[in-house]
Structure formats: C-alpha cells, structure tokens
Structure 1
Amino acid sequence: MAEQPMLKFVKIDRDMPEKRDADQRNHDFHEIYAEYADAKAKEQSSRCSQCGVPYCQSHCPLHNNIPDWLRLTATGRLEEAYQVSQATNTFPEICGRICPQDRLCEGNCVIEQSGHGTVTIGAVEKYITDTAWEKGWVQPIKPAAEREESVGIIGAGPGGLAAADVLRRAGVQVTIYDRYDRSGGLLTYGIPGFKLEKDIVMRRNKQLEDGGVTFVLNCNVGEDISFEEIRSKHDAVIIATGVYKTRDLQGPGSGAAGIVRAIDYLTASNRKSFGDDVPEFDSGELNAEGKKVVVIGGGDTAMDCVRTAIRQGAESVKCLYRRDKANMPGSQREVQNAEEEGVEFVWLTAPKGFTGDAVEGVMVQKMRLGVPDATGRQAPEVIEGADYVEDADLVVKALGFEPEDLPQLWGTEGLEVTRWGTVKAEFTTGATSLPGVYAVGDIVRGASLVVWAIRDGRDCAEAVLGQFAGKVAVAAE
C-alpha cells in the first residue's frame, strides 16, 4: 500500500527555510530567508493535516486553496500547485514574502492549535511561484478576445495592479495612472528589499505592461490630469491610491530638523537600491549612517524602519512603543528579526517632545497598561514623574497613515467619504457614490494589508466586468 502523503506533522517537525545570520544580513538589503529545496518543500507540505474545515483558508483574505496546493506540492505536482495558487491570488510570490502569516493562515493552522507547530504556508507559497517563474509556467497575459471598454485605475499599488490583471485577462483596455516613476506603490517604495526584493515587483509590472496594460507614470491626479478628464476617457474608474498622509506628532520641538516621516525615509532607501540620485539621502537627512536613531511606532512600518537603519550603519537603533510586546500590532516574526539584528525595543514609552533645534533627544514618558478600551485592548496610561530623555540624531515617525482629502485634492464633487476621510464604497464591489467610479484597498479600508488590497482589487474587477456584461468582445487576432 502506498504511503500516506500527508498528515506527517506527527513525525516531521516544522522547519522554516534557513535564515541568514544577523551579522551577515545586517550589511545588505537582500532577502534574509533562503529558498526551500524541492525535497524540503515536499516534506514541509506533507505536514498538512488536510483538515475538513481549513481555518488557514478561511482566515486568508483571498481564501486561497491552501490545503490543495500543499497536497499537490507534497506529491510532486508543482505546476498544478502553482495553477491552484494563482487561481485565487494575483501575486502569490509577493504574499508569500510579506503577508503576516503568523496572524492569518499559519496563526490559524489546526496543527498549530494542537501543539505541533504550524505548516510553513508562506515559505511554500513563495517556493511554488518562484519555481513557476524559473520553469516558465507563468504565462503572458493574452486575452482570448479584446473588448472595447476601457478602465482607468488611479494608483499602481497592489489593489490597482490586481484589478488591472483581472480586467486585462478579460480583454478590457486598462490604463493605470500613478504619481511615482515606477509602478508598485508601497511594494516598490515602501517595503524594504530584505522583505521583498524589487526585481520580484518589477517582474510583475513588466508582465502587466507586456500584456497590454498602459502605465501613465509621474502623473499627479488633480495637477497633471484632472479626475474628470480621467472619467471622460474611460467607461469605469477605479480609485486605488492607498493612504500616504502620515499621522503627525505633537509636542515641543516636533518641527525640529532630523524628525522625518517613515514613508520619506523608506522611499529614499529604496530609491538608492534602484541606483537613483537621492539628494536627501546623500546629504544625510534621510540616512541613518553613524546616527542614534529612534523610531516611534509599533507596526510593520516601524519594523521596516528600524531594520533599514541597522543596515545603513546606525550607531544605535531604538524603537519606542506605548504598549508592551504582546500588544504591538506588528508581526512578532518581524520583531524577532529586528531584535536579532541589534534593534532595542523600549516598551511602554511614548514621546512627549523633542530637544534641540536639530533634534538631539526625545522626551519620553513612561507608560503602564490600564483598563481595556472600546476595542478590548488595555489603554496605555502615563506614569507621572518617570519622564526621561532618549538621545537621538534621527527620529522616524512610523505612527501609521491616513487618507488624503481626495474630493478637495481632485476638485471633485459628489465623491462621498467617511468620517475617517476614506472613500465610502460598497462592500465587495467597491462602487462609490459616483456612477462608474469604484474604490479599493487602503483608500477604503484605511491602512491595511497588501493581501486585502489584492482581494479588493480582484473583487472590484469582477464587479466592473459585471457592469460590462452583455457587451460584445472582439476576437483577438
């Protein structure tokens, strides 16, 4: 009788891909995890219990068919595993690298709950699609028939790119407008290379461009082209701008030189990795080399900033967060990686102000956790008389992002927004208050995950195709 290919979690332990030593990875921006070998990917996939109710799948925003492609990988049917993975996820190799699996699929794995250690879902997902690219299984976008309808997408981040992919495969004419000189949004300029090397993103951008998607880059809507002009050019418009407005810090000295926004700091670093001319980096303004760096915040953006500062050669890197480690919003895996690399976390602390005309220190208030707030999390409270000053030459604000005021920015009437400033859009379809205008991703949800933006983009594209239903497509030559 043939050996059971799955349920091997009882005799095979969880084993992540090898991680480069901190002393080695601290000096470059290459990804820190090695790739699985084929045998190891099969072995780790075979640990899946193939449970009847796969919580990994239900807790994935894209509802990826995870047990199916794990079984296919375990049994050596890797090309089929890729086809199943790609069926629900536009960019599986990106999600495999940057999704917080510890909070989503892996965090809800049934064998993890029983104490056996979760299946390494993210690492296998990355391996499947990297292999598919290497083997030539990733096919160019070639619509079976061309359609006359045209869709304009504002924003070339993951939500906009996912929508473009679905629409273009259906033969729709797609134009993407973006403020940056490269598409990808935060995938390109916000996430450091040690989590997502940029050739991975550029490869997907090229696939879309080769497949017939038109990119209009260095284009600021409201300045270079009006929103109404875009509407007049297309049968439908999808707003996928993301959220880029940084939450600010108050207090004495908050305007001092040397206090910078996380998005500016990360963008400068990523531009240097492309070989761009970045005067703000070269002048030292957005470069941590030789400096005492303090990053304020506890999310994944803060983790990106502290780990970037280490690689730039900072003298010291400290992260201030107002709650404790157990209550921070960032990925615990990222915290562990940062600690290994030499970042010091100063828990239960918050900035009160800053010293120096060019920043010399952060006035820190010590905190304690009090009674739970409306969300159920314990609210931080100030401990009176416990203030102190943390030395700093560079302070990076990583407090999260808020939406820009699009109706005002674009001079648009009738585009309804919520009390938080996000665009008011219908659940699943993304339809807004304006006919033929849709919105997806962070500009609807507020700052969220890449995987949710991909989900929104795909759902919205299907809704747009539904709007076009009944119109005749023209057979491609």
Structure 2
Amino acid sequence: MADDRMLKFVTVQRQMPTKRPPDLRRDDFAEIYSEFADDTAAEQSGRCSQCGVPYCQTHCPLHNNIPDWLRLTAQGRLKEAYEISQSTNTFPEICGRICPQDRLCEGNCVIEQSGHGTVTIGAVEKYITDTAFDEGWVKPVSPAVEREESVGIIGAGPGGLAAADMLRQAGIQVTVYDRYDRAGGLMIYGIPGFKLEKDVVMRRNRLLEDGGVTFRLNCNVGEDISFEEIRDSHDAVLIATGVYKSRGLQAPGVGAKGIVRAIDYLTASNRKSFGDDVPEYESGELNAEGRNVVVIGGGDTAMDCVRTAIRQGAKSVKCLYRRDKSNMPGSQREVANAEEEGVQFEWLTAPKGFSGDVVEGVMVSRMRLGAPDATGRQSPEIIEGGDYVEEADLVVMALGFEPEELPTLWGEEALEVTRWGTIKANFRTHETSLPGVYAVGDIVRGASLVVWAIRDGREAAQAMLDRFGAAATAVAAE
C-alpha cells in the first residue's frame, strides 16, 4: 500500500531551514541556518517522489541511499534513518552542512527537474545526524575483535579520518599523523564556522579517539618523522595530505605587502575563533577590520574569504572573477549568501597588477567570454581599453591549490606522481606505485570536495581490509 506521507511535492512547497537575517549573521561566525523542527523535517522529507531511478543517489559521490532515509524521516523513524545514512557516509552531519547540494543531489532531484523545487536533502541529512547525537545514538567504534595489523594515515582531513573510522570498525590498529595541532584538516582551519561550526568536527575527532584511533599531531612528515619510519611501523600506509600549496599569480606588484594567500587568511580567522594567539591577526596582517578588501577567485574558497571579511568588519568587500555568475565554479547558494551579507561581485574582471609597495589598489582588466576552451567553458578574453583600478588595502588570493612535491619532501622518489604533481593511484584500490601505500582525496584528485575525499578514504580502507584478509588466508593455508 502506498505511504500517504510521501509524494507531497505537488501540495507542499519546498522550504529551507530558517536563515538568520544578514544584519545579524554578519556579526558572528555561527552557522547561518537553524535546525529543522521535527514536523518540518518530516514534511519536507515527504516531498520526495520515491522515484524508481533516484538521480539524487546516482549523483552523490557516496551513493547515499537518500530516498530511503527521506521516507523513514517522513515516517518519524529517525533512528533507522540515521543508521541508513551513516552506513554509506562517515560524516553525514558535515556533508549536510558543506556539500554543494545544488550541484550534486539536490541539483539532480527529479522533482526539481519537473519544476516543483528540489527536496531539501542536505538540511534533512544534517537534521538526522544532529538528532542522533542529541539522542545518544552515535557511539564510538567498538570492534568485535582487535586485529594485529596496523595502518599509518598521513593527514587528518576527511579522507584520512573516513578511512580511520572504517579500519577501526574492523579492529585494525590506526595511527593518524598530521602537521597541525587539531585533527580535521580544512574542515577545521579552512572552512569558516558560519558554514561548519568547529565543535561539529571536534565531536567526531573525540569519537575516533574514544574508538581507539591514535593521533600524532604537530607531526610534520619529512621533518619530525620520516616517511620510511612510518612505512616500517605499519602494515599499510595511507597518504591523505590534501593540497595546501596556493596557486600564484604572475603580475606586476604581486609581492606587495597586504597581498595574502587565502589559506593563511582563513587559518588565522579559524584559529582566532578557537581562542588561539594569532599574532598575524592581531597585527592586522590577516585581519580585514576597517579595510577595503578585494578577493580574487570564483570558487568556494573565495566565497569563504569574502564572507569572513564581512564578519571581521571590513570597510568594503569585493570579489573579482574573470567569468560571469553562471560560469562560476563555486556554489550559487554561497554566492547568494555573500550578496545578502554585502559582498559586491565584479564579474568578468581579472587582475593585471597591483599598485604600491604596501598594496593600494588592484589594476583590473575587463573581460568578455569568447570561444569555449577544452572543457567546454567559454574562455575569458581581455577587452582592450577597459582597464581600471580597484581600491584595496588587503588583497586575498583565492586561486586554488596545488600539491606539494611529496616525493622530494619525503625523500621517496619511487612515489610516482602525475604531471600535475598529484600522486598516481589505482582508481579502484587507491594503491600507489609503492606496495602497501595508498593515497586518497585531493592529493590524488587535485582540489576537490569533502564528500569525494570521504568516498576515497572508505574505498581505500576496504582495499586494505581485502589485502589483510587475503594475507591472513595465505598464512592460514601454509
């Protein structure tokens, strides 16, 4: 018999959780969306069409069983909804907050394509797991049997932590090495609190520790410990370092004081939110208060920077992007939030230089879109005679990230990399050119999404378990 709590997309309008007004949220780093009320979450979940071919699931990198946990939420069976949600996703409450659902699951929802407005999948995903934490349903890993095999994971970002969780569930001994003083990678120091409050990540870190994961923080591989030592200490190694090397810009005046990297700017702000002593913030070097800020770039990192500058009390905040709004790589939802908060976007503009030994302005070229490039996107072209100067005394470069030269840094030339510097790894098992060494996430893909790193980490963990199982079978047969 059909469930009369479903297929309500014709009679029930799409509704997002309440968003705090811009004049209030500009003053703090708290998340801007409130939690769904129980009744609203059930009602919005009931809009799902329960279609035979769920494109939302197909376009989710983790292939989350979205229709099933929407149906269970509509029926009020939240514990079951949580169990299904977490069976495919190590961090559903994080993905519910920061995934670009408008480009993934929600953007491919069948009822969105038919003009009824997508199901608010991300908000329901967040609601399910936040409720699970509140109800005490989320427990630390407690493996049935402890095993002797051990894995060393280099990098405590989403890929490394997802693998650590899955390996511990199987009883594998796991040590995570990370250069920073807190685990979480860019989820801690890259993504601002208004998108992902830090206690959400720290809560997961504590769960992993309580489940038996060992963290060695402030541990820089190649300096504090060698890659060879890590390999000698473990049965397998996972490289999940991410990409932290900022892309540069070749232009006159680029070395002027007041031109900073996005990763440095965001890290300083997030450390300040933790209450850390941040001299670069206190000195004003990485603080936008009272300044004319220009952010260069059009991705999600650029959106994080412009919205952070607003909250720091910038005098003005402008974002330069060389294409138009429809061709922007960042989330359209984030662009809308930034515009509401007072960010001014200068579309079809590109920097050609900077004035002043201490930056005073950005020399800007106006652009137009010409013929498509190799990816099919229209290539920006300079409009002759359209140059002007944008006043700025703080410029944040958010042009993307590149991999560090790990074979050189770690003294391991046998670790094969691509021509882009990313690590070569098998696309199914994630094993590298070094036996027993795996790699996942951005260090393989290039700068990408948290959800893809989670998928990679889970797949690599399964490949290691398959390898350990095969090895155990071979030993038993001897």
The TM-score, its normalising length taken from structure 2, stands at 0.98
Contact 1:147 1:472 in 2 (8 A): no
- What is the match of residue 326 of structure 2? 326
1:329-361: CA deviations, max 9, x gaps? 000000000000000000000000000000000
**Secondary structure at 2:28's aligned position in 1?**
coil
Rounded Cα–Cα distance in structure 1 between residues aligned with 2:3 and 2:453: 41
- What is the match of residue 380 of structure 2? 380
**Secondary structure at 1:303's aligned position in 2?**
helix
- What is the match of residue 24 of structure 1? 24
Rounded Cα–Cα distance in structure 1 between residues aligned with 2:413 and 2:112: 51
Rounded Cα–Cα distance in structure 1 between residues aligned with 2:289 and 2:196: 22
Rounded Cα–Cα distance in structure 1 between residues aligned with 2:472 and 2:430: 24
Rounded Cα–Cα distance in structure 1 between residues aligned with 2:7 and 2:51: 9
| Deviation (angstroms), 1:428 | 2.2
- What is the match of residue 276 of structure 1? 276
**Secondary structure at 1:97's aligned position in 2?**
helix
1:401-426: CA deviations, max 9, x gaps? 00000000111121000000000000
- What is the match of residue 294 of structure 1? 294
Give, as a single letter, the amino acid of the residue that structure 1 aligns with 2:206: K
Rounded Cα–Cα distance in structure 2 between residues aligned with 1:469 and 1:34: 45
- What is the match of residue 444 of structure 1? 444
| Deviation (angstroms), 1:140 | 1.6
Give, as a single letter, the amino acid of the residue that structure 1 aligns with 2:461: A
Rounded Cα–Cα distance in structure 2 between residues aligned with 1:471 and 1:364: 60
Rounded Cα–Cα distance in structure 1 between residues aligned with 2:435 and 2:104: 35
Q: Which ranges of structure 1 fall in alignment gaps of 5 or more residues?
A: none
Rounded Cα–Cα distance in structure 1 between residues aligned with 2:286 and 2:470: 53
Rounded Cα–Cα distance in structure 2 between residues aligned with 1:280 and 1:298: 25
- What is the match of residue 193 of structure 2? 193
Rounded Cα–Cα distance in structure 2 between residues aligned with 1:3 and 1:58: 24
Rounded Cα–Cα distance in structure 1 between residues aligned with 2:241 and 2:256: 30
1:139 aligns with 2:142: no
Give, as a single letter, the amino acid of the residue that structure 2 aligns with 1:247: R
Superposition pairs of residues 142-181 of structure 1, within 5 angstroms: 142-181=142-181
1:110-167: CA deviations, max 9, x gaps? 0000000000000000000000000001122101000000000000000000000000
Rounded Cα–Cα distance in structure 1 between residues aligned with 2:3 and 2:65: 23
Superposition pairs of residues 16-415 of structure 1, within 5 angstroms: 16-415=16-415
4+ residue runs over 3 A deviation: 470-473
| Deviation (angstroms), 1:385 | 1.1
**Secondary structure at 1:8's aligned position in 2?**
coil
| Deviation (angstroms), 1:49 | 0.2
Rounded Cα–Cα distance in structure 1 between residues aligned with 2:128 and 2:471: 37
Give, as a single letter, the amino acid of the residue that structure 1 aligns with 2:231: R
Give, as a single letter, the amino acid of the residue that structure 2 aligns with 1:178: D
> Structure 1 stretch 96-105 or stretch 405-414: which is displaced more?
405-414
| Deviation (angstroms), 1:3 | 6.0
Superposition pairs of residues 414-453 of structure 1, within 5 angstroms: 414-453=414-453
Give, as a single letter, the amino acid of the residue that structure 2 aligns with 1:430: H
1:357-409: CA deviations, max 9, x gaps? 00000000000000111110000000011111100010000000000000001
Rounded Cα–Cα distance in structure 2 between residues aligned with 1:211 and 1:298: 39
Rounded Cα–Cα distance in structure 2 between residues aligned with 1:145 and 1:472: 14
**Secondary structure at 1:9's aligned position in 2?**
coil
Contact 1:256 1:359 in 2 (8 A): yes
Rounded Cα–Cα distance in structure 1 between residues aligned with 2:429 and 2:263: 29
1:3-55: CA deviations, max 9, x gaps? 61100001000000000000000000000000000000000000000000000
Rounded Cα–Cα distance in structure 2 between residues aligned with 1:280 and 1:434: 40
Give, as a single letter, the amino acid of the residue that structure 2 aligns with 1:215: F
Rounded Cα–Cα distance in structure 1 between residues aligned with 2:403 and 2:3: 54
Give, as a single letter, the amino acid of the residue that structure 1 aligns with 2:192: P
Rounded Cα–Cα distance in structure 2 between residues aligned with 1:375 and 1:275: 43
1:78-134: CA deviations, max 9, x gaps? 000000000000000000000000000000000000000000000000000000000
Identify if the C-alpha distance between structure 1 residues 273 and 470 changes in structure 2 by more than 3 Å, giving closer, same or farther: same
Give, as a single letter, the amino acid of the residue that structure 2 aligns with 1:449: L
Rounded Cα–Cα distance in structure 2 between residues aligned with 1:171 and 1:159: 19
Number of matched pairs: 473
Rounded Cα–Cα distance in structure 2 between residues aligned with 1:399 and 1:326: 18
**Secondary structure at 1:125's aligned position in 2?**
helix
Q: Which ranges of structure 2 fall in alignment gaps of 5 or more residues?
A: 474-478
Give, as a single letter, the amino acid of the residue that structure 2 aligns with 1:127: Y
**Secondary structure at 2:174's aligned position in 1?**
strand
Rounded Cα–Cα distance in structure 2 between residues aligned with 1:457 and 1:156: 11
| Deviation (angstroms), 1:472 | 5.8
1:249-298: CA deviations, max 9, x gaps? 11110000000000000000000000000000000000000000000000
Give, as a single letter, the amino acid of the residue that structure 2 aligns with 1:413: E
Rounded Cα–Cα distance in structure 2 between residues aligned with 1:5 and 1:471: 50
| Deviation (angstroms), 1:429 | 1.1
| Deviation (angstroms), 1:471 | 5.6
1:425-473: CA deviations, max 9, x gaps? 0002110000000000000000000000000000000000011005669
**Secondary structure at 2:9's aligned position in 1?**
helix
Give, as a single letter, the amino acid of the residue that structure 1 aligns with 2:44: Q
Give, as a single letter, the amino acid of the residue that structure 2 aligns with 1:319: C
Considering only aligned residues, what root-mean-square deviation do their CA atoms show, in Å?
1.0
| Deviation (angstroms), 1:303 | 0.1
Q: How many percent identity over aligned positions? A: 81
Rounded Cα–Cα distance in structure 2 between residues aligned with 1:382 and 1:319: 18
Give, as a single letter, the amino acid of the residue that structure 2 aligns with 1:273: S
Give, as a single letter, the amino acid of the residue that structure 2 aligns with 1:392: A
- What is the match of residue 476 of structure 2? none
